[in-house]
Amino acid sequence: MRPLFLLSVLSLACLSSLAHADEQTRTVAAFNAIDIRGPISIEVESGKEQSLLLRGDQKFLSGVITEVVNGELKISMKDKDIKKTEGDPRIIITMPTLRKLIAEGAGEKILTKLNGPRVDISYKGAGRLAADGQVDWLRLKAQGVGEVDTKALLAKNVDVNFEGIGSVKVYSSGELNAVVRGMGELTYYGKPKIVHKSVAGIGSVNAAK
């Protein structure tokens, strides 16, 4: 009976979560950059027509502010505390090309199919950021205690500046310029032809094994 009871409880929990999940599509001006502040999870997929979808309970949907300023989508929360929202609230974005991402706060940031000559990513928080795709040049700045995994983002040249106690993974096949401050660990993939590295503190910059 115990396994059946646990299964029933899990099923009810899943149904309860789904029951509270609503979706809201927003229409905004064209943008190629994103600036997100707050504990908000986002998924961004490049190479598609622009769309902006919010998924979560009504408290989350009504609390998210979105506006486009000079080609940059700015996302923030009216109420800085969204811990009481139900389920797994997040923002799902599709766009032709992501040129720049600025993200501050906890939550998950997932970037897929990035493309173009260059992408700039600035991440400060305690969550997780992951990216894939192919670009000529990645400029990455990471601060905090989270995890940044861009090893699936195939970049020719990479400039990375990492300050914190988490971990960062990048891919470079050309030139890698890496600066690490603090206790963080930076691992690089792709066997770059040129590597310049600077470490201050007890952090590290190492090739993947």
pLDDT tens per residue across span 96-123: 999 999 999 999 999 999 999 999 999 9
The conformation of residue 97, written as its DSSP 8-state character, comes to -
Q: Which of 105, 161, 59, 49 is nearest to 170 (CA)?
A: 161
CA distances from 48 to 103, 113, 114, 120 (A): 21, 10, 11, 19
CA distances from 168 to 88, 92, 183 (A): 25, 24, 12
Judged against a pLDDT cut of 80, whether residue 57 lies above it is answered with yes
Q: What is the CATH number of domain 24-78+90-207?
A: 2.160.20.120
The pLDDT mean for the chain works out to 90
Binned at pLDDT 50, 70 and 90, residue 81 comes out as low
pLDDT for 80 equals 66
CA dist 179 and 186 (Å) reads 9
Judged against a pLDDT cut of 60, whether residue 35 lies above it is answered with yes
